[in-house]
Amino acid sequence: MVVTSLRLQDLIEEIRGAKTQAQEREVIQKECAQIRASFRDGDPLQRHRQLAKLLYVHMLGYPAHFGQMECLKLIASPRFTDKRVGYLGAMLLLDERHDAHLLITNSIKNDLSQGNQPVQGLALCTLSAMGSAEMCRDLATEVERLLLQPSPYVRKKAILTAVHMIRKEPELSNIFLPPCTKLLRERHHGILLGTITLITELCERNPAALRHFRKVVPQLVQILRTLVTTGYSTEHSISGVSDPFLQVQILRLLRILGRNHEESSETMNDLLAQVATNTDTSRNAGNAVLLETVLTIMAIHSAAGLRVLAVNILGRFLLNNDKNIRYVALTSLLQLVQSDHSAVQRHRSTVVECLQETDASLSRRALELSLALVNSSNVRAMMQELQAFLESCPPDLRADCASGILLAAERFAPSKRWHIDTILHVLTTAGTHVRDDAVANLIQLIGEAEELHTYSVRRLYSALAEDISQPLVQVAAWCIGEYGDLLLEGNCEETEPFQVEEKDVLALLEKVLQSHMSLPATRGYAITALMKLSTRLRGDNNRIRQVVSIYGSCVDIELQQRAVEYNALFQKYDHMRAAILEKMPLLERGDPHVNEEGKEKQTGAQLLETTVPVPTEPQATKLLNLLDLLDDTSGHAQHLPPLDPSPGETLIHLLDLPCAPPPPAPIPSVQVFERQGLQLDLSFTRPLETPALLLVTATTTNSSNEDVTHFVCQAAVPKSFQLQLQAPSGNTIPAQGGLPITQILRILNPNKAPLRLKLRLTYNHAGQPVQEIFEVDNLPVETWQ
């Protein structure tokens, strides 16, 4: 029984009438079998009908690769109906990954050579859709010949094909330079639009073409002036604007030609002013032309008055009811704020009003622009607006807003007290959304401002008494521990007077310790503050001793260790307690230690490898010795030996002069990890005075296009070794070879056993969390022998 094949229309109706996916697959499988049988029979009259059905099946997502060769047969057919379906099938079923696409090169060349315009159009469309670099090189001369054909239909398609060829093979640029100059004289808007697009591609990919087409800037200016001054045309006008598509494309080309070229910029300045003042802004087409005009003005060497006019146009966009136009205006102003800061400042109030937008993308862009507009003259007013926005902004914007306020306050703070008040307000308002370094920065700021110690401790005590769940609990605990005597005795005219007693302070810190909302780090701040208050308060220290002894059995190891050591201070080293717990010295911005930290950030791994910490104060030496005694009073425990610098090196550190780099290590470096551009290398150094000690410097670099954030490197060694990990130089590795992260591992190997390392890397890359665990057992023998 012979089953007749369905017509395309019947196939579509049957597929749409399928109740389930299984019925649809059954219909398609049956029809595909009929199509295969028809292809095997080789009936030339039915081939294009069968391929048309197969293309519909392909568009539904089912496999249709067995129809590729039939496309080639139809393209080679002399009948137009066959060529039409064959070229359509080639565009859908063939691409550069299939070698079969090269087989149609000769057919396309033959079709381009004959004078049949519909066939030439089919060949040009197929070439521009799936032409590979090899096909473009073979057929470039044919397309160049068609660029000057008398038929506008063929010329338009030839121009678009040339654009595709330039994108695929930029080396073909020289072939299309002469025809483009001639095509600029065309009056047909479609051909002119394609020509401008082709010239734009040539200029972006070929510096020689850019220099060549700068000579035609007056011609482009005249074309655009004609469009602007021409009245309404039913064929080309859209919403009262004469051919906005062509105007936009010409403006983009002028932007490329005028960039970094003063003569071309001078030629187009008057025209840009005319377009900016005469374009109708009541419709979206006019706004599109104005936006391109503004971007062109800002990209070239334009006059100062013209740039102010461009910024004012963007300011009017901010008042538009269309959210898309407001978003475009905010984005453009953000790009201009660095080069034309004073002009953008005139629209500051409008930008601040955009913070209240309900659209998240608009409010985020307005926040970025508002932070960029902050300077020393408007910092107080802008901070008031931003802090008010912080109180009501969506949760997903709170972290960015808080971070921006803290950075702006640090850069433009008019006074230290204002800076402290701003940070306190952000910490109180933003909650857990503040940056990790906000606490440390505020502590340093308070420590530097000796005249504000009393004011700061009283402000923080009041805030802590109101709510102990705030992030400023750590700052408050540190400040109360350092300046508790000023809290009890000091009188500050700048705050409301209130009386504080010793028992109230101790009770508040105990409340922080006992709160379930306190983090382990916060409890550490609180117990340290209690310990410091034992030397600042005049009363009996029995209450503090009892609290400290309670936490000696805490499940948190860090808190337990602090409590045990503090309890030992009370019991065995009470005569040293006052000296150890004295106030921190004032930190100045010009302090050598601060400068040294800045140098470390700039020089990265080299300074970390060459710098050795040297105790320069007697009190620090006492503290180190005391901590050694507390770790093991019997002396049985093994400790990693410190690196004792030579007297010359000590003198260099005391004078804060740059150290001479050490001689290169004889132990070869090893690459132990590489994935998606992230690479980890280990270099080794063994101090001559301590042969059992190995210093391993782990250097992590990033050559990918995305930053690596929250990077943490952890290591483990066998039990016969002792390992100490020093703090890394950072936790973010910038993309494309930015400053690497370095971390030093000190490994003590008294038995000279073969060294093995187990490393765990955790980081975020391209928005995805990554964790890698691997073992390193191919280390050089010099690392342990």
> What's the per-residue H, E or C state across 587-614?
CCCCCHHHHHHHHHHHHCHHHHHHCCCC
Averaged pLDDT for residues 375-399: 90
CA distance 437 to 449: 19
**Mean pLDDT for the stretch of residues 609-625:** 37
User: Looking at per-residue confidence, does 598 or 117 come out higher?
Assistant: 117
What does the pLDDT read at residue 648?
40
The answer to whether residue 754 scores a pLDDT higher than 80 is: yes
**Position 612: which residue type?**
V
Mean pLDDT of 693-707: 88
Query: What is the structure's pLDDT at 595?
Result: 42
More confident: 99 or 224: 224
pLDDT for the residue numbered 29: 92
pLDDT band at 784 (very low <50, low <70, confident <90, very high): confident
Length of the chain: 785
- Average pLDDT over the chain, rounded to an integer: 83
Local confidence band at 663 (pLDDT 50, 70, 90 cut-offs): low
422 touches 409 (CB < 8 A) = yes
What is the residue-wise DSSP string for 102-155? Answer: GGGHHHHHHHHHSS-HHHHHHHHHHHHHH--HHHHHHHHHHHHHHTT-S-HHHH
pLDDT interval class at 579 (50, 70, 90)? confident
What span, in angstroms and rounded, lies between the C-alpha atoms of 301 and 304? 9
Q: How many CA atoms lie within 13 A of 138 on its CB side?
A: 16
Does 603 score more than 70 pLDDT? no
Asked if pLDDT for residue 712 goes beyond 80, the answer is yes
Instruction: Give the tens place of pLDDT for each residue, 506-526.
Output: 888 889 888 888 888 888 999
Mean pLDDT, range 622-643, rounded to an integer: 39
Answer whether residue 305 shows pLDDT above 50.
Answer: yes
Which two tokens mark 204? 């972006």
Q: What does the alpha-carbon distance between residue 336 and residue 314 come to, in Å, rounded to a whole number?
A: 10
- Per the CB < 8 A criterion, the answer to whether 233 and 257 are in contact is no
pLDDT of 361 higher than 60 = yes
In the numeric block, which tokens belong to residue 406? 């803290």
Task: Cite the DSSP H helix spans in 377-452.
Answer: 379-392, 395-412, 416-430, 438-448
Reading across the β-sheet that carries 670-675, which strands appear in turn?
670-675, 678-685, 693-702, 741-748, 722-725
Q: What is the CA radius of gyration of the chain?
A: 37
Answer whether residue 327 shows pLDDT above 80: yes
Task: Say whether pLDDT at 41 is over 80.
Answer: yes
Mean local confidence (pLDDT), 151-180:
92
28-38: per-residue pLDDT in tens?
999 999 899 98
DSSP track, 468-521? TTSTTHHHHHHHHHHHHHHHHH---TTS------HHHHHHHHHHHHH-TT--HH
- Confidence bin at 638 (pLDDT 50/70/90): very low
pLDDT, tens digit, for every residue of 238-272?
888 888 999 999 999 999 999 888 999 999 999 99
Would the pLDDT of 84 be above 70?
Answer: yes
Amino acid identity of residue 444, one-letter, is: Q
Helix, strand, coil abundance in the chain, percent, nearest 5: 65, 10, 30
Q: Which of 133-147, 326-340, 575-589, 618-632 has the lowest mean pLDDT?
A: 618-632
Q: Mind listing the pLDDT tens digit for each residue in 476-517?
A: 898 988 888 888 775 665 666 677 788 888 888 889 888 888
Query: Would the CA dihedral through 343, 348, 350, 354 be positive or negative?
Result: positive
Q: Pull the structure tokens for residue 276.
A: 């900016």
Q: What confidence score (pLDDT) does residue 122 get? A: 94
HSE, CB side, 13 Å, CA atoms: give it for residue 517: 11
Averaged pLDDT, 368-387:
92
Within 10 Å of residue 569's Cβ, how many Cβ atoms? 20
pLDDT score recorded for residue 614: 36
674 pLDDT above the threshold of 80? yes
Tens digit of pLDDT for each residue in 410-459? 899 999 889 989 988 888 888 778 877 788 888 888 888 888 888 888 88
136-169 burial: b if 16+ Cβ within 10 Å, else e:
bebbbebbbebbeeeeeebbbbbbbbbbbbbebb
Q: Three-state SS across 445-466?
A: HHHHCHHHHHHHHHHHHHHHHH
Asked whether the predicted pLDDT for residue 609 surpasses 60, the reply is no
Residue 647: pLDDT band (50, 70, 90) is very low
Lowest model confidence (mean pLDDT) among 156-165, 203-212, 665-674, 677-686: 665-674
CB 21 within 8 A of CB 62: no
Q: What is the pLDDT of residue 594?
A: 38
Q: Are strands 708-716 and 757-765 parallel, antiparallel or unpaired?
A: antiparallel
Mean pLDDT of 373-383: 92
Q: Where are the alpha helices (DSSP H) in 300-359?
A: 304-318, 323-336, 341-345, 348-353
Secondary structure of residue 539 in the 3-state scheme: coil
- The yes-or-no verdict on residue 559 having pLDDT over 60 is yes
Question: Percent of the chain beyond pLDDT 70?
Answer: 87
At residue 635, does pLDDT exceed 70?
A: no
Torsion of CA 391, 392, 397, 403, to 10 degrees: -20
User: Does residue 666 register a pLDDT over 90?
Assistant: no
For residues 404 and 386, the answer to whether their CB atoms sit within 8 Å is yes
Q: Is the pLDDT of residue 114 over 80?
A: yes
In the structure, what pLDDT confidence band is assigned to residue 644 with cuts at 50, 70 and 90?
very low
Asked if pLDDT for residue 196 goes beyond 90, the answer is: yes
Confidence band for 588, pLDDT divided at 50, 70 and 90: low
pLDDT for res 519? 86
Q: In the structure, what pLDDT confidence band is assigned to residue 54 with cuts at 50, 70 and 90?
A: very high
In eight-state DSSP terms, residue 300 is S
User: How far, in Å, CA of 688 to CA of 645, rounded?
Assistant: 11
Residue 190 has pLDDT above 70, yes or no: yes
The better pLDDT of the pair 644, 429 is held by 429
DSSP 224: H
The DSSP bridge pattern shows strands 708-716 and 241-242 to be unpaired
Local confidence band at 542 (pLDDT 50, 70, 90 cut-offs): confident
